[in-house]
Structure 1
């Protein structure tokens, strides 16, 4: 059982031991599209949303989520992150969000970028 999924063993689950791995610069990038009404996108662009600049708020929320990934997703290692970038590309009917996460460590930051 443990050969296919690194976190599953014959006796249950575990957080994978990475202590013997060397520290390396690691970077992961994840992106997704958020589809909205054209009217809503125009309101976001002209900052007409009553809550203020929603993209700045979303950047802050994304950074906070990345920093807390090991608390949100079971079996993720807590990581020392060296950088987080969250960017938006606004189009007429959708917004593309891209998150890049960097670390110098023993394990990757893919789950942090996705989170």
Structure 2
């Protein structure tokens, strides 16, 4: 099934959902520590960035500076859709909320400060 490309449809149907838990960004040299189950990995020249549940990071002794909530946009967005990230970023900027966006094959995922999760949801739901 092809993803949605129309920006208005994407914004109207995004259906943001707050996932359970708190998430952190950490970096390791190359190997994912035992017991750590990342939800996202990104290979960079400085190492392997992991986005993991805070409890996994704490248990593995991983360092981190940012604790986030994870919001999934339930709309199936096309990877070539234009404007969704910009519209979301602008709405969250107006609310004073930082956001780190990760695109999956079918959905976009937002990592926002954990203590602002409900504010972020309200800002995102204003499009519907």
Q: Same fold (TM over 0.5)?
A: no
- Computing the radius of gyration from Cα coordinates, the structure with the larger value is 1
- The TM-score normalised by the length of structure 2 is 0.34
Q: Which fold has the larger relative contact order, with Cα–Cα distance below 8 Å and residues 6 or more apart in sequence?
A: 1
- The TM-score normalised by the length of structure 1 is 0.37
